[in-house]
Structure 1
Amino acid sequence: MLPQKHVVAAGGVVYRRGRYDTEIVLCGRPREGVWTLPKGSLEPGETLERAALREVEEETGLKTAIQETVGAIRYQFTGPDGTRYHKQVEHHLMVPTGGSLAHHDAEFDTARWFPVEEALRLLRYPNERAIVRRAVRLIQQRE
């Protein structure tokens, strides 16, 4: 039987009102066709909220504030060493309070604002698209 590991992570849907539409931040490696929501694993003793704030700042360069929880996604994958990972990621609806996308983590080539519809086309994984759609409904309820 393959070794298994359970991972808990947190991230965010960071949004702002653009000139014409709501925009969200995606982290990407465009040459590889990879665009994703900012997220990462919890550090020992860290809460989901604190991890989301830290990971979003590390991966996007933006300081943010959490408005509410959007929901969690679960998925599995096999790592290069054959370990089977069971990952749960809790996403939060977040707004920028400072920082700059220019200071994003080197893990990604870029972090950029996209209109929601474009972001939905770029996101590779259906579960992340579902989180963005849920976040948009929450944003609309706030307006």
Structure 2
Amino acid sequence: MKVKEISAGGVVYRKNGTELQVQMIQDRYGKITLPKGKMEPGETIEQTALREILEETGIEGTIIRPLETITYQFTLPGVGTVDKEVHYYLVEATGGKLQAQVEEIRGVEWLHPLEAWHQQVQSGYGNNDSVLRKALEALGFEVNGA
């Protein structure tokens, strides 16, 4: 039996005075990652992305543009093969208060874009490299391959 699971999330940025900052989270396994989560019935993919960002990080945002959709498969005991689709957006922070969702993640912080890239390369998930690279390029930062 095939199951399809759709998640959405984003690369969140803000302008702090003249400085641009990008939000990165540390998940419960200690890895650097991006906020994302499963779509709920009746939601659009965009709504899912914004809700998950708000739930995981406390930040409200506006979608600027789609970045990338990542697809992969994994096996769930008792379910079988799951086709996973994760939609990532570039999201500008518009409000809220930075606060990590304790059940899900260990921490969340605002970083200089190049520091965010450094952390991603050092301790992030490989399939997030191109998502973050595209986000940083959209924000005017060139980064080299991992």
Higher helix share: 1
* Runs of 5+ unmatched residues, structure 1: none
When residues 105 and 83 of structure 1 are mapped into structure 2, their CA distance, relative to the original with a 3 A threshold, is: farther
Find the partner of 2:59 among 56, 59, 62.
62
* Runs of 5+ unmatched residues, structure 2: 142-146
User: What is the aligned-residue identity percentage?
Assistant: 36
Report deviation, 1:136: 1.5
Aligned length: 138
Q: Which amino acid aligns with 1:70?
A: L
- Equivalent position of 2:140 in the other structure: 140
Q: Normalized against structure 1, the TM-score is what?
A: 0.82
Q: Normalized against structure 2, the TM-score is what?
A: 0.80
Report deviation, 1:82: 7.1
- Equivalent position of 2:144 in the other structure: none
> Contact 2:100–2:107 (CA<8 Å) still a contact in 1?
no
> Contact 1:21–1:116 (CA<8 Å) still a contact in 2?
no
1:53 aligned onto 2:12: no
- Superposed, 1:92-131 pairs within 5 Å as 92-102=89-99, 104-123=101-120, 124-131=124-131
Report deviation, 1:5: 2.4
Structure 2 CA distance for aligned equivalents of residues 17 and 56 of structure 1: 17
Q: Which amino acid aligns with 2:132?
A: V
Root-mean-square deviation (CA, aligned residues, Å) is 2.4
Report deviation, 1:21: 5.5
> Which range is displaced more, 43-52 or 118-127?
118-127
Report deviation, 1:69: 1.0
